């Protein structure tokens, strides 16, 4: 039985690779139709300009606010003992479809070059009315790539309520142990209020997400000064009613119809200045010492100013597992910062290969005000280069709705999602496309 199962997985793997190759060829063929004027519209962002003055770096500072322990204990006492990721995955009630079962329309969200080597589409009924957000994995959480008994992908979604601020936010925990069967279930993101006697839903698009040690770090869109929220993955609470409400309700606790809710344990506040930089996309960089949290802001293509990129150090204090490194006043300062000419940045990675003198920065940029596809750039203090595709060398080869980037170091893969597609490709293939 084990041999037959393995052969089935191999056959499905070959079919998936063939489907992805066919999709990539079809999309590449479509890319050849892009006009020469479109091919040059993705302006070169130039070199990274270091930011070194106090006036420039102070705008990147965040201030930590911890949710009081008694608040969290009060919630647990009222809702029941928290559960961890393994318990959530054991109750997975949804399944992603592999690329062979996705529609041509869904697969239009995949990048043309470099092409995805793994791709899945979400349950249509489950994601109807929800907008995709950031992605992270257990490859961020732990260097061996697992958490508990599982390899895990975490995908964020926001209820589409027609406003820029967005509706309720949730995260879907995906069991990635078997690449031919990705089951998942979701938990509502919440913020404790009223001394822990209640909670409210986090109402914002989740623009960036990193799972580091036992913490899930989540960035939010413009709305208030709290720009980064922290969740503890072993503190998932079970809802006691399927009501569409959120928080304490007559007879129990509701999570907008979800079975689980994840209460925040901390948040980080922007400085009260006009030039404060709100972190949009974030990712983990394990090639620094200590590990660091990389961030970029989102600047619109019609906004006449550069985009800032920076990194925060992550704490090595065993009493602050998974949290950024702050000073005694709770201030979190950037340890490296740059300006770039790139606009509409949807995802950011920073990685320094072994033996290299400096890190490369990878930015995926949405189509912005232009129709069609986005671009993928590698940038440093000496220049920038984009991936190209089609007979005319178009730079618009990435997904139009460029999303967050998450590097799974143990497998060498970069994960992202766009539209209804969750996909991965080797970092090596990105580097090859940029050489």
Q: What is the DSSP string of 309-339?
A: EEEEEBP--GGGTTPBP--TT-EE--SEEEE
- pLDDT surpassing 50 at residue 30: no
Residue burial 187-210, b: 16+ Cβ < 10 Å; e: rest: bbbbbbeeebebbebbbbbbbbbb
Q: What is the pLDDT of residue 210?
A: 98
Instruction: Answer left, alpha or beta for residue 129, where phi above 0 means left and psi between -120 and 50 means alpha.
Output: left
The neighbouring-strand residues paired with 95 are: 183
pLDDT category at 372 given cuts 50, 70, 90 is confident
Measured CA to CA, the distance from residue 213 to residue 222 in angstroms comes to 27
Q: How far apart are CA 1 and CA 347, in angstroms?
A: 42
CA angle 336, 340, 343 (to 5 degrees): 130
Q: pLDDT (tens digit, 9 = 90+) per residue, 44-93?
A: 999 999 999 999 999 999 999 999 999 999 999 999 999 999 999 999 99
Residue 110 in this model has a pLDDT that exceeds 80: yes
For residue range 385-401, what is the model confidence (pLDDT) as tens digits? 999 998 888 999 998 88
Higher-pLDDT residue of 355, 95: 95
What per-residue confidence (pLDDT) applies to 400? 84
Please tell me the distance from the alpha carbon of residue 366 to that of residue 237, in angstroms, as a whole number.
Answer: 35
pLDDT > 70 in the chain, percent:
89
Residue-averaged pLDDT of the chain: 90
Residue 19 has pLDDT above 60, yes or no: no
For position 401, what pLDDT does the model report?
Answer: 86
pLDDT, mean of residues 174-201: 97
Q: What Å distances lie between residue 39 and 367, 373, 384, 391, CA to CA?
A: 12, 11, 16, 10
Give CA separation, 121 vs 98, 104, 157, 167, 432, in Å: 6, 11, 14, 22, 26
Query: What radius of gyration, in Å, describes the C-alpha atoms of the chain?
Result: 21
Tokens representing 234 are 């072993």
pLDDT digits (tens, 9 = 90+) for 280-308: 999 999 999 999 999 999 999 889 899 99
And the tokens for 40?
Answer: 């040059």
User: What's the mean pLDDT in 179-199?
Assistant: 97
CB 402 within 8 A of CB 418: yes
3-state secondary structure of 63: strand
Task: Name the least confident of 155-164, 314-323, 342-351.
Answer: 155-164
| Mode of pairing for the β-strands spanning 215-220 and 331-332 | unpaired
Q: What is the reported pLDDT for 36?
A: 37
* Contact indicator for 422, 119 with CB cutoff of 8 Å: yes
Residue position matching structure tokens 């959480």: 141
Is there a contact between 170 and 144 (Cβ–Cβ < 8 Å)?
A: no
Position 29 scores a pLDDT of 42
Which residue from 277, 257, 259, 281 is spatially nearest to 269, judged by alpha carbons? Answer: 277
* Band (165; pLDDT cuts 50, 70, 90): confident
Beta bridge partners of 201: 190
Chain centroid, CA 381 distance in Å: 25
pLDDT at 141: 97
Q: How confident is the model at residue 369 (pLDDT cuts 50, 70, 90)?
A: low
Residue 274 has a CB neighbour count (10 Å cut-off) of 6
Render pLDDT for 117-128 as a digit per residue (tens, 0 to 9).
999 999 999 999
- What is the predicted pLDDT for the residue at 371? 59
Say if CB 423 and CB 118 are below 8 A apart: yes
Q: Are strands 260-269 and 181-193 parallel, antiparallel or unpaired?
A: parallel
Lowest mean pLDDT among 168-172, 189-193, 229-233, 364-368: 364-368
Question: Which residue in this structure is represented by tokens 């913020």?
Answer: 191
Task: Provide φ and ψ at 243, rounded to 5°.
Answer: -60, 150
Q: What is the pLDDT of residue 6?
A: 37
Greater confidence (335 vs 9) lies with 335
């Amino acid at each position: 039985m084990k041999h037959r199962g393995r052969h089935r997985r191999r056959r499905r793997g070959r079919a998936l690779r063939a489907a992805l190759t066919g999709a990539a060829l079809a999309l590449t063929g479509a890319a050849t139709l892009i006009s020469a004027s479109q091919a040059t519209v993705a302006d070169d962002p130039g070199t990274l300009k270091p930011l070194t003055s106090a006036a420039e770096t102070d705008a990147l500072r965040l201030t930590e606010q911890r949710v009081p322990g008694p608040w969290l204990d009060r919630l647990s006492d009222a809702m029941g003992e928290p559960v961890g990721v393994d318990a959530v995955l054991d109750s997975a009630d949804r399944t992603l479809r592999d690329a062979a079962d996705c529609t041509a329309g869904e697969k239009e969200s995949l990048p043309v070059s470099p092409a995805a080597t793994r791709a899945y589409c979400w349950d249509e009924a489950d994601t109807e009315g929800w907008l995709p957000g950031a992605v992270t994995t257990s490859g961020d959480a732990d260097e061996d790539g697992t958490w508990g008994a599982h390899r895990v992908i975490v995908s964020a979604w926001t209820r589409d309520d027609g406003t820029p601020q967005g509706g309720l936010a949730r995260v879907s925990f995906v069991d990635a142990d078997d690449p031919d069967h990705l089951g998942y279930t979701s938990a509502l993101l919440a913020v404790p209020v009223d001394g822990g006697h209640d909670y409210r839903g986090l109402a914002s698009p989740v623009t960036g997400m990193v799972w580091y040690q036992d913490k899930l770090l989540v960035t939010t869109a413009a709305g208030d000064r709290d720009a980064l929220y922290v969740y503890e993955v072993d503190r998932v609470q079970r809802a006691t009613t399927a009501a569409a409400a959120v928080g304490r309700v007559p007879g129990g606790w509701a999570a907008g119809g979800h079975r689980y809710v994840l209460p925040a344990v901390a948040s980080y506040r922007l400085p009260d200045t006009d030039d404060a930089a709100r972190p949009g996309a974030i990712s983990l960089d394990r090639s620094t010492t200590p590990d660091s949290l990389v961030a970029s802001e989102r600047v619109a293509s019609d906004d006449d100013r550069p985009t800032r990129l920076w990194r925060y150090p992550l704490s090595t204090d065993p009493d602050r597992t998974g949290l950024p490194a702050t000073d005694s006043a709770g201030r979190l300062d950037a340890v490296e910062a740059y300006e770039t000419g790139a606009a509409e940045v949807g995802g950011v990675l920073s990685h320094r290969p072994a033996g290299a003198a400096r890190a490369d920065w990878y930015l995926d940029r949405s189509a912005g005000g232009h129709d069609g596809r986005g671009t993928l750039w590698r940038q440093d203090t000496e220049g920038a280069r984009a991936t190209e595709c089609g007979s005319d060398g178009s730079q618009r080869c990435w997904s139009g709705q460029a999303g967050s980037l998450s590097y799974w170091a143990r497998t060498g893969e970069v994960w992202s999602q766009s539209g209804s597609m969750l996909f991965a490709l080797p970092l090596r293939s990105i580097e090859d496309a940029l050489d």
